[in-house]
Amino acid sequence: MKPLSAAEIRSSIVNATAEEIARMPLPGLHETIWDEREYLGWRDPQVTQRGYIVFWRGDTPLGMVLRAATRGPGRSMSAFCSLCRTQQPAHQVSLFSVPKAGQAGRDGNTVGTYICSDLACSTLIRILPPPSQMQPNPAAEMVVTRGAGLLARLEGFTNEVLKPAE
C-alpha cells in the first residue's frame, strides 16, 4: 500500500460529516509498515464501536467510517471474516454496518458485513501455513494472491457503500 498522509485520510472519508471527520482520531502513521498492508484500518479508542478503513482505489484514497455491532455470536462459535476470509473465534469477528455515502447514508441506509474486529486483515493474510501444508505456491506468491483477493472483496463492499439507494 502507498503511504497516506493525515490530510489524505481525512479527505478520503465518503460517509461522514465534516465535523465527524475533523474529530476522527488517526492511528500512528509514522509507525505504519505500509508495504505490509492492503488497507489502513483502525478502531476509535474513545468510541469503541467505531472503526475506519482507508485504501487506495486506483490513484485515489477512499475511506469509510464503520460501526461494530454491540453484540455478536456466542464465544463458543466461530466466525468468518468476509474480507480476508479467515475463520476465527466469534469474538474476533464483528458485524460492521457502514452508512452509505451521500444522501442515502443521511437517510439512514447502511451496508453490513463481518470483518475482523481489530480490522487487521492485512496481518492475518500474511500468516502462512507450515511448509508441509502449503500448496505449490511459494509463500510470497500466496501473500500476493491473498492480498489481491482481500482488495477485490473490499472494492466490492465499497461499491455497495457508494451505490445510491434504490
pTM for the complete prediction? 0.89
Question: Distance between CA atoms of 66 and 15, rounded to whole angstroms?
Answer: 9
Which residue, chain included where needed, has cell 505490509?
36
Bridge partners, 62 (sequence order): 55
Domain residue extents for the chain: 6-123+134-162
Give tens-digit pLDDT for 8-29.
999 999 999 999 999 999 999 9
Work out the pLDDT band at 72, boundaries 50, 70, 90. Answer: low
Q: What would the grid cell of residue 65 be?
A: 467510517
Q: How far is CA 45 from the centre of its chain?
A: 16
- What pLDDT score does 117 carry? 95
Measured over the CA atoms of residue 97, residue 98, residue 102 and residue 106, the dihedral's sign is positive
Work out the pLDDT band at 39, boundaries 50, 70, 90. Answer: very high
Give tens-digit pLDDT for 117-159.
999 999 999 987 776 665 666 777 888 999 999 999 999 999 9
Work out the pLDDT band at 82, boundaries 50, 70, 90. Answer: very high
**DSSP alpha helix (H) spans, the chain:** 6-12, 18-23, 102-106, 121-124, 139-162
3-state SS class at 24: coil
